[in-house]
Amino acid sequence: ELLKAEAVRREMFNQIQELRGNVRVFCRVRPPSPRETSEASASICLETLPDAATVHLRLGPEKSSSYAFNRVFSQESTQEDVFGEVSGLVQSALDGYNVCLFSYGQTGSGKTHTMLGGSDATSRGIIPRAVEKVVEASKINEVKGWSYTLKASYVEIYNETIRDLLSTVGHSDTTHKIIHENGSTTISGVTTAIVESVEQANVLVRKAAGARKVEATQMNAHSSRSHAVFILHVSGEHASSGTRMEGVLNLVDLAGSERVSRSGASGERLKEACSINKSLSSLGDVFAALASKAKHVPYRNSKLTYLLAPCLGGDGKTLMFVNVSPEEDSSEETSCSLRFAEKVNACELGRSSQRKMTTHK
Ligand code: ADP
Ligand code: MG
C-alpha cells in the first residue's frame, strides 16, 4: 500500500512539474545573524508574505518592490520544511531524470546552509537529506524488482578549473574534462564513490566539504569563491524486463553573487571575482536563451553551464534557490539577487516577469 501511494505521489509530482515547465525558483530568507540582531542600527528590509510566494523588499523610505516565486521560505522555515518541498524533485532522479538544484546568492546569504547545512540531524541540509532519500527510495524500489547503483562525485569549479573534492591524493595537476557521450555526462579523472548506505554518504560529503576552497574576503571570512557541485548518478535496472534507467542529481552551491567592488577585491582576488561573475552571468545567459526558445543556447561559455547542460535544457528539471539576507546593509545585493532570480523564474512557461514595482508617498 505504502509503495503504491509513493509511486502515485511521484507520478503526480512529475506531471505537475511537466505542466509547470522545467525551471522553478524558490526564495529563502535567512534569519538575521546575532550580530545584526544586537546592533541597534541593524534594520530589516525584507518581509515575506503569508502566501508563501511573495517577498517584499524595502529599498528606501519611498521605494519598495515585490517579487513572486514558486515558493518563498521565511526566516522561520526549517531545513526539514525546505527539504519537504524538494524531495519529489530529488526522487525524480530515480525515474531517469536529469535534475539540478542550485543555491544562488551573495556570500553570507545561506547557500551553504541550504545545500550542506550543519552536521546534526536537524540542521543538515539538502545534500545529506537527498542522498538519504535516494538510498531509501532505491531500497523501496528493489522490492519491485529494480536494482540500483548510486555513484557520487563532488567537484569544485574554481576559476574555470575543475577540482576533485573526493580525491584522496590531494590537489593534483590532473586536468578534468567534461564529456557528454551516449546520453550521459562524465568528468575525466574524477573520483566516483559507490554509495551503499546513508552513513557512508555522510562521511563522503563531510570530507569533501572540508576540502572546499575557502578564502577570506572583507565580506565573510568563510566566503566561498567557487562553485561546489555534488553529483549523484543513479542507474537502475529492472531484473525481469531488463529496462534500464539513468538519472542524475546535481546539487550546486554556487559562488557568491556579490559584485567585485563591494568585497574589496583586487589583484588575484579580482581575477577570481571576475571569473565568478562570468560563470554566473553565463548561467543567466543560458536561462535567457532557453526562455526565449533561442536556437543557440550558449552552454559552452562556462564549465558550469557545460556540465549542467543536460539538466538545464531538454527534459531536465531545474530548481534554483535564491538565498537572501534580510538586513538593510545587503539590500542592494539582495535586489540584484532577486532580479536575477526573477529572470530565471520567468523561464517557466516562457511568461514575462511578475514583479510589481510600487512607489508610495
Ligand atoms: P553562504 O554559503 O551563502 O556564504 P552560509 O550558508 O555560510 O552563507 O550562511 C552564513 C551564516 O548564516 C552561517 O553562519 C549560517 O549557519 C547562517 N545561516 C544561513 N542560513 C540560515 C538559516 N536559514 N537558519 C539559521 N542560520 C542560517
Ligand atoms: Mg557558502
Residue nearest to atom 17 of ligand 1 (CA): 110
Count other C-beta atoms under 10 Å from residue 222's C-beta: 12
Specify the pLDDT at position 205.
84
* Residue 60 assigned as binding residue: no
60 has a pLDDT exceeding 50:
yes
Average pLDDT over residues 111-115: 96
Residue-wise pLDDT for 140-151, tens only, equals 888 889 999 999
Query: How far, in Å, is the centroid of ligand 1 from the Cα of 12?
Result: 33
- Rounded CA separation 93/99 (Å): 6
Measured between alpha carbons, how far is 182 from 253 in angstroms, rounded to an integer? 27
Check pLDDT > 80 for residue 169. no
pLDDT score for 33 = 80
Three-state SS for 271?
helix
The bridge status of strand 98-104 relative to strand 244-253 is parallel
pLDDT surpassing 60 at residue 102: yes
Ligand 1 binding residues, C-beta < 6 A: 30-31, 33, 105, 107-113, 220, 323
161 annotated binding-site participant = no
Residues less than 5 Å from ion ligand 2, measured at CB: 111-112, 224
| Lateral strand order in the sheet of 54-60 | 46-48, 54-60, 63-68, 356-359
Residue 216 has pLDDT above 80, yes or no: no
Region 118-124 average pLDDT: 92
Give the confidence band of 326 by pLDDT, cuts at 50, 70, 90.
very high
Q: How far is Cα 161 from Cα 142, in angstroms, rounded to an integer?
A: 38
**pTM for the full model?**
0.87
- Whether residue 334 is annotated as binding a ligand: the answer is no
Rounded distance from Cα 330 to ligand 1 centre (Å): 14
Does 186 or 213 have the greater pLDDT score? 186
Ramachandran category for residue 110: left, alpha or beta (phi over 0 → left; psi -120 to 50 → alpha): left
C-alpha of residue 213 to centroid of ligand 2, in Å: 10
